[in-house]
Structure 1
Amino acid sequence: MIKNRLSIILGEKRIKFHEIIKLTGISRKTLYNIYNDKTQGIEFSTLDKLCFALDCTPNDLFRYLPDKTSDKNLYE
């Protein structure tokens, strides 16, 4: 599973939620869903805006956590 670190990065950079909305132009609903891990994916344009505004890379924003229950045969 992939988890986002948006809340952590915002905290480290001391950026408030409403500030990232203004910096990126991303809708409150979209950012809320990303922030709270309520999304199944993210558009590249959204990712680009976040990385630019936060001066980070996609690798900084997301962490891969292997799902021990997934069927490994699906990926072979």
Structure 2
Amino acid sequence: MMIKINIDVLLVKRKMSVTELSQKVGITMANLSILKNEKAKAVRFSTLEKLCEALDCQPGDILEYSKDQKVTS
């Protein structure tokens, strides 16, 4: 199971840079990079709210659940 983070897709749709998003949300480039590269273990609701406001989207536009495609034997 996996939670996918679609920040890259939303940035392209909004024609926004990572730097601009970082400034609007008020988080460091390093933390934003960790989040967008799916290395984060958690996301605060306050951060998610700021991301939604900056990207003019819903939480479900940023976070996507998908089942792991690996087959276990």
Normalised to the residue count of structure 2, the TM-score between the two structures is 0.86
1:39 is aligned to: 40
- After superposition, residues 13-28 of structure 1 pair within 5 angstroms as 13-28=14-29
Q: Deviations over 1:18-55 (max 9, x none)?
A: 10011111121210101111112111111011001111
Tell me the TM-score normalized by structure 1: 0.83
Structure 1 gaps of 5+ residues are: 70-76
Q: Which structure has the greater CA radius of gyration?
A: 1
Aligned sequence identity (%): 36
TM alignment of 1:1-76, pairs within 5 A: 1-67=2-68
Stretches of 4+ moved more than 6 A in 1? Answer: none
- Aligned residues between the structures: 69
Listed as ranges, the gaps of 5+ residues in structure 2 are none
Deviation at 1:66, TM superposition (A): 1.2
